[in-house]
Amino acid sequence: MPWERTLLCGLTLLCASLLALGRGDPEVSYAISAYKPLRRHPELFDSKVGWGEWLDPALKAGLEDYRLTGNSTLIFAHLREETRDVYSFSLFSEAFCDMFLDELDGYRASGLPISRPNSMNNYGIIVNHIGLRPAITRFQKDVLQPLSELLFPVQVQGGFDSHHSFMVQYKADEDLGLDMHTDDSDVTFNMCLGRSFTGASLTICGDSRTPQHRHFHHSYEHVRGRALVHLGSRRHGADDIRAGERNNLIVWNSNTRYRASSEYVNKQPYLREEGEPDPRCLSYTHDRDFGAFLDYPPGKESFQGRGWCPPAFACYDSMHPVLKGQRDEL
Going by C-alpha positions, the residue among 101, 128, 108, 109 that lies closest to residue 117 is 128
Burial class (CB in 10 A: 0-12, 13-18, 19+), 228: buried
Vertex 248: Cα angle to 242 and 251 (nearest 5)? 145
Read off the DSSP letter of residue 231: E
**What is this structure's pTM?**
0.89
**Which residue ranges form the domains of the chain, and what is each CATH number?**
40-265 (2.60.120.620), 274-324 (no CATH)
**What is residue 118's three-state secondary structure?**
strand
**What is residue 106's three-state secondary structure?**
helix
> Which of 117-124's residues contact partners 24+ apart within 8 Å by CB, and which partners?
117/166, 117/167, 117/168, 117/250, 120/175, 120/178, 120/179, 120/285, 121/168, 121/169, 121/175, 121/178, 122/174, 122/175, 123/168, 123/169, 123/171, 123/174, 123/175, 124/166, 124/167, 124/168, 124/169, 124/175
pLDDT in tens for each of the 330 residues of the chain?
A: 333 333 333 333 333 333 343 456 899 999 999 999 999 999 999 999 999 999 999 999 999 999 999 999 999 999 999 999 999 999 999 999 999 999 999 999 999 999 988 777 778 999 999 999 999 999 999 999 999 999 999 999 999 999 999 999 999 888 888 999 999 999 999 999 998 899 889 999 999 999 999 999 999 999 999 999 999 999 999 999 999 999 999 999 999 999 999 999 999 999 999 999 999 999 999 999 999 999 999 999 999 989 999 998 999 998 876 543 344 444
Omega cis (within 30) before 242? no
